[in-house]
Copies of this chain bind each other. A is one copy, B any other.
Amino acid sequence: MSESNLLIVEPKKFSFNEVFKLESGEKLNGFEVVYETYGELNKQKSNAILICHALSGNHHAAGVYSKEDIKPGWWNELIGPDKAFDTNKYFIVSLNNLGGCHGSSGPNSINPETNQEFGAEFPIVTVSDWVNSQNLLREELKIDKWLSVAGGSLGGMQALQWAIEFPDKLSKAIVIAAAPKLSTQNIAFNEVARQSIISDPDFEKGDAHPQKGLGLARMLGHITYLSEESMKNKFGRDLKKEKLGYDYDVEFEIESYLRYQGANFSKTFNAHTYLLMTKALDYFDPARMNDGIFAKTLENSLCSFLIISFKSDWRFPPERSKEIVDALIEAEKKVSYLNIDSIQGHDSFLMKNDRYENAIKSFLKSDV
Interface string of A216-252 (1 = CB under 8 A from B): 1001101100101001101111000000101110011
Taking CB atoms, residues of chain B closer than 8 Å to A248 are 194, 198, 275, 279
Does A167 have its Cβ within 8 Å of any Cβ on chain B?
no
Does A112 have its Cβ within 8 Å of any Cβ on chain B?
no
Report whether A187 and B26 are in contact in the complex, using a CB–CB cutoff of 8 Å: no
Taking CB atoms, residues of chain B closer than 8 Å to A187 are 237, 252, 254-255
Report whether B191 and A219 are in contact in the complex, using a CB–CB cutoff of 8 Å: yes
Report whether A184 and B282 are in contact in the complex, using a CB–CB cutoff of 8 Å: no
Give the distance in Å from the alpha carbon of A169 to the alpha carbon of B273 in the complex: 58
Report whether B244 and A192 are in contact in the complex, using a CB–CB cutoff of 8 Å: no
Taking CB atoms, residues of chain B closer than 8 Å to A184 are 228, 231-232, 234-237, 252, 254
The secondary structure that dominates the A interface is helix
Taking CB atoms, residues of chain B closer than 8 Å to A215 are 195, 199
Does A181 have its Cβ within 8 Å of any Cβ on chain B?
yes
Does A73 have its Cβ within 8 Å of any Cβ on chain B?
no
Does A183 have its Cβ within 8 Å of any Cβ on chain B?
yes
Smallest Cβ distance from A217 to chain B, in angstroms? Answer: 10
Taking CB atoms, residues of chain B closer than 8 Å to A26 are 246
Smallest Cβ distance from A181 to chain B, in angstroms? Answer: 7
Taking CB atoms, residues of chain B closer than 8 Å to A124 are 246-247
Q: A184-B235, A275-B248 are in contact. Are A196 and B198 (CB under 8 A)?
A: no
Report whether A185 and B231 are in contact in the complex, using a CB–CB cutoff of 8 Å: yes
Taking CB atoms, residues of chain B closer than 8 Å to A192 are 216, 219-220, 223, 258
Smallest Cβ distance from A291 to chain B, in angstroms? Answer: 13
Give the distance in Å from the alpha carbon of A82 to the alpha carbon of B354 in the complex: 59
Taking CB atoms, residues of chain B closer than 8 Å to A285 are 237
Report whether A188 and B231 are in contact in the complex, using a CB–CB cutoff of 8 Å: yes
Does A45 have its Cβ within 8 Å of any Cβ on chain B?
no
Total A residues in contact with B, Cβ cutoff 8 Å: 54
Report whether B223 and A196 are in contact in the complex, using a CB–CB cutoff of 8 Å: no
User: CB < 8 Å: which of B195, B223, B236 contacts A189?
Assistant: B223
Smallest Cβ distance from A71 to chain B, in angstroms? Answer: 25
Report whether B220 and A220 are in contact in the complex, using a CB–CB cutoff of 8 Å: yes
Does A201 have its Cβ within 8 Å of any Cβ on chain B?
yes
Taking CB atoms, residues of chain B closer than 8 Å to A191 are 219, 252, 254-255, 258-259
Smallest Cβ distance from A123 to chain B, in angstroms? Answer: 7
Give the distance in Å from the alpha carbon of A212 to the alpha carbon of B25 in the complex: 32
Taking CB atoms, residues of chain B closer than 8 Å to A232 are 183-185
Taking CB atoms, residues of chain B closer than 8 Å to A259 are 191, 195
Give the distance in Å from the alpha carbon of A69 to the alpha carbon of B191 in the complex: 34
Taking CB atoms, residues of chain B closer than 8 Å to A196 are 196, 216
Report whether A201 and B199 are in contact in the complex, using a CB–CB cutoff of 8 Å: no
Taking CB atoms, residues of chain B closer than 8 Å to A254 are 184, 187-188, 191
Query: Which of A23, A246, A247 has the largest number of chain B CB atoms within 10 A?
Result: A246
Smallest Cβ distance from A262 to chain B, in angstroms? Answer: 8
Taking CB atoms, residues of chain B closer than 8 Å to A220 are 192, 220
Give the distance in Å from the alpha carbon of A91 to the alpha carbon of B347 in the complex: 51
Query: Which of A192, A246, A275 has the largest number of chain B CB atoms within 10 A?
Result: A192
Smallest Cβ distance from A244 to chain B, in angstroms? Answer: 6
Does A24 have its Cβ within 8 Å of any Cβ on chain B?
yes
Smallest Cβ distance from A24 to chain B, in angstroms? Answer: 4
Interface string of A187-214 (1 = CB under 8 A from B): 1110110111011110000000000100
